[in-house]
Chains A and B, each alone.
Chain A
Amino acid sequence: MKQAEHEIRSNVGKLLKQKNIDVFIGYEKGSLPLRTSPCFVSSEKEARKLIWNSFCTNNLAVYLPRIMSRVKNKGSTRVGIICKGCDSRSLVELIKEKQLARGQIYIIGISCSGMVDYKKILSQVNSDEVIGVDETADEITVRSKEGERVFSKEENLCEPCRACKHAVPTVYDMLIRTAQQPRQATTPDPTVHDFLMKPREERWQILEQELSKCIRCYACRNACPNCYCKECFAEQTKPRWFGVTTDLTDIIFYHTIRIFHQAGRCVDCGACIRACPMNINLRLFTRMLVDEVKERFGYEPGVSAKEVQPLATFKTEDRQDFMIEPE
């Protein structure tokens, strides 16, 4: 970790000094133990506050569409960014959707062995007593007023990390390899399968239970790099598609439509799940869509820059039997 951190700082410092980039988006120490925070550095001096650890969870690609849409001289602006595997896959899709040009970004890719979910750790300690955190290759040590507790990283991973097959970024300008082996899931993610095995009534009950927690704060949408629409369908008034309340019907509408807008685009980075303050298991939705798209179209978002998005592209050989009446 420390070595990677050092490499990040020196490389970013160099890039900024040589004016190869105007600003770099990375992570800095959070104001609380177990947290990190996105930060924007624009000088060699500022680059020294960049860090790297197992809590660098935020998908920083979320900032790019809005930076790129507002920048005045598009041709000459260059933004640097640090990307884990999932973040880089978001970037690949954003480039396909023309939200940014490859030449506008300088990507420092970093191989990842899985991020730790700070909420999981906090739920096992008295969160108000935590003073500090240390980590080794496999463990997290939480220091509190009452002493030290050690947690296994593996047991407290962010759920999407468990199923990750792309721990090495799929696109980068330079790659930093951490000391740990990049994660490689060998078994398929069981989330959707386990859920579908349940009887129908139970599945509905689970969905109802999860979704009734929703307070319509839209954090899931705002944390998602793919949700960059200037006017979201949820807030449109002409026409108003559905209500803005926390009635279950409105909540179901919001989440199902938002996730359908992600079909073929969602990379299962987990940003929405981590952002949700009510801890709704949004993975039931996101993973469902990822699996469906893989099964029906053989497509995995963010892996290849050349592969076209199946739901945004029309080929003449596409099946049309669902539209055309048989003779």
Chain B
Amino acid sequence: MVKKERLGVILSESRLPEFIASLTETYRIFGPSKKDDGESFADIHKSEELALDYRNTKMSSKGFFFPQTESLMWYDSTDKKAKQDKPEVQPTLLFGLRPCDALAISYLDKVFLSNEPQDPYYRQRREATKIVCLACNSPSPTCFCTSVGCGPDSENGADIMMYKLNDRYFMKALTPGGEEILTKIDAETEPATSQDIVEKDDLVNKACQMMKRFVDIDEFKEKLDNFQGPWWEKLAQKCLGCGICTYFCPTCHCFDVTDEVVRQSGRRVRTWDSCMYPLFTLHASGHNPRPTERERMRQRIMHKFNYADKYYSSIFCVGCGRCIVHCPVNMDIRQVITQIMEER
């Protein structure tokens, strides 16, 4: 038993169905869905429904803890008291999350949990969830996690780290919560050997090779200390200000709070917001500190790579590449970073 814990465990691919079946007894499982080729995370009841050979989901997983639309409270003008909405939560497992997304969740934990006061809505969902992370064997051309302090086997945010070897999965627990899960499914697994480790390391190295590090991120952070840098105008020219990048980004956390009312009652609801929108910083007086795309683009890049680092000790980019894939004008953040680094 001791050896198992030290190196990890092996789950043969043929035992995946039993593995999942036994987990469904305790957890509601979300995983990459075979129905849409892993484009989204869906409710998983059987291992056959999983598409673990997926690259990454279209939308990030931040929606599990920080939904696009969330009712904060309901009110009734007859009693003037606000009734807090309590999200319905049950023990949940995010199964097969990529390391970049798991790291992003650990960043969001900093915003909503470690940064007092705690956000009760986020906390309730987060506390009920455990994350089984699946390391990447073949990154996409748009992945650049190794350039931003993440990697195909980054462990931050994960309760269990899982690797796909030839015909089996290598797993190791990273938290007590992860240990709990592995103990529960002890019957399905075998202890890992040093050979498994060698194979796993080899795969990780190969994956890292596929992503060339294109920037020294610490140098870039420092370069951004020059707020008045002349490069923003040209970089922001083609930006449409549509907000897709912020919506798909796993670490973007800005939100709007609005009140809805139907006759005498209503709710206060929070929805995703984007610093790329012109009204984001509009004062009631009409003054807007960020009037054009130039200021807003600067804000987005500075927040991700400079301000977040000063405030939370992490840059808020995990290199998932979603902003690159979905931008309608092909604004590539890697090119943005490279162009800024090249400017004197």
Contacts and interface: CB of A to CB of B under 8 A. Distances in A.
Contact of A219 (B55, B237, B328): B328
Interface residues of A, number: 36
B181 interface: no
Given A32-B142, A36-B330, A275 B269 contact: no
B271 A219 contact: no
Interface in A179-224: 215-219, 221-223
B207 to A, nearest CB: 12
A77 interface: no
B258 A240 contact: yes
Contacts of B330: 30-32, 35-37
Contacts of B335: 31
Given A219-B242, A223-B328, A128 B269 contact: no
Contacts of A31: 324, 330, 332, 334-335
A230 B292 CA distance: 11
B69 A235 contact: no
B238 A275 contact: no
A277 B238 contact: no
A64 interface: no
A307 interface: no
A295 interface: no
27 contacts: A32-B142, A35-B330, A40-B238, A58-B328, A128-B141, A215-B59, A215-B247, A215-B272, A216-B68, A216-B272, A217-B242, A218-B242, A219-B243, A219-B244, A221-B242, A222-B242, A223-B240, A230-B278, A231-B279, A235-B277, A240-B258, A243-B260, A243-B269, A246-B68, A275-B244, A275-B328, A277-B326
B268 to A, nearest CB: 12
Interface of B: 55, 58-59, 68-69, 138, 140-142, 234, 237-238, 240-244, 247-248, 256, 258, 260, 269, 271-272, 274, 277-279, 292, 324, 326, 328-332, 334-335
A130 to B, nearest CB: 8
A231 B288 CA distance: 13
A236 to B, nearest CB: 9
A173 to B, nearest CB: 22
Most buried by A among B142, B277, B328: B328
B328 A245 contact: no
Interface of A: 30-32, 35-40, 58, 62-63, 70, 127-128, 130, 215-219, 221-223, 230-231, 235, 240, 243-247, 274-275, 277
B138 A244 contact: no
A215 B140 contact: no
Nearest to A122: B325
B243 A247 contact: no
A128 B237 contact: no
A97 to B, nearest CB: 19
Given A38-B238, A128-B141, A235-B279, A277 B248 contact: yes
Contacts of B277: 218, 235
Contact of B69 (A36, A223, A247): A247
A246 B331 contact: no
Interface of B is mostly: loop
Contacts of B278: 230
Contacts of A30: 330, 332
Contacts of A38: 238, 329
A275 B326 CA distance: 8
A217 B244 contact: yes
B7 to A, nearest CB: 31
A216 B59 CA distance: 13
B49 to A, nearest CB: 21
A128 B69 contact: no
B238 A37 contact: yes
Contacts of A274: 328
Contacts of A244: 256, 258, 271
B281 to A, nearest CB: 13
Contact of B324 (A32, A243, A245, A246): A32
Contacts of B243: 217-219, 222
B69 A246 contact: yes
Q: List the 3 closest A-B pairs by CB distance, nearest first.
A: A31-B332, A219-B242, A222-B242
Nearest to A33: B141
A209 B324 CA distance: 27
A37 B269 contact: no
Contacts of B58: 277
A249 to B, nearest CB: 11
Contact of B141 (A32, A70, A215): A32
A58 B329 contact: yes
Contacts of B334: 31
Given A38-B329, A70-B292, A245 B69 contact: yes
A37 B240 contact: no
A40 B331 CA distance: 13
A77 to B, nearest CB: 15
A235 B55 CA distance: 35
Contacts of A222: 240-243
A231 B282 CA distance: 11
Contacts of A235: 277, 279
Nearest to A55: B330
A128 B138 contact: yes
Nearest to B284: A237
A22 B317 CA distance: 36
A275 B331 CA distance: 13
Nearest to A60: B238
A127 B334 CA distance: 19
Nearest to B270: A245
Given A215-B272, A274-B328, 14 more contacts: A31-B330, A58-B328, A62-B240, A63-B238, A217-B242, A219-B240, A219-B244, A222-B243, A223-B242, A223-B328, A230-B278, A245-B271, A275-B240, A275-B242
Contacts of B329: 37-38, 58
A132 to B, nearest CB: 11
Contacts of B271: 216, 244-246
A247 B262 CA distance: 15
